[in-house]
Structure 1
């Protein structure tokens, strides 16, 4: 199965310690991380929890999925592996005119 959980629909006030405390009721928490916006420092509303065993992960899902925290019903399931993303294109060098310079010959 897997012992790493995706936790979605978190209240924006939730922090790592809140996840650890909530999921600690179902077993040993190896890690708990709320994902944060890089620029603003605000929660993105989801995070990941790694439980000590598959059985503890199953218990945590059963005990928290759909439960209301801070007015929001949590979505808890086994985390899927991160998918490879294609490289970003572009580079901010203008609208495709060769880097912002004029290609017309001056002679």
Structure 2
């Protein structure tokens, strides 16, 4: 399977509370042919934590704009966890100092966050 090339400018805000959380995705994806699509996803999830490892499971994943279907470009770009309910996702979150964290979805950093 081949996916179209694209550039993404997406921010993800995670909030964890007890065994539940929410991820808010905002931004846009632009394909090399100039087509731009907004990203406005809200994902409610449950999770368990072992040290720096977070095991998330999406409960509800919806567009904040009310769209009922997920566009093919989003399906090709984002992990299913952010687009569909009942999908597992793994994160390792390492705090580097009081203002920065690194998020891993494998052995290499996926996201660098700064307050």
- TM-score normalized by the length of structure 2: 0.28
Ranked by relative contact order (alpha carbons within 8 Å, sequence separation 6 or more), the top structure is 1
> Which of the pair is proportionally richer in helix?
1
> Which of the pair is proportionally richer in strand?
2
Larger radius of gyration: 1
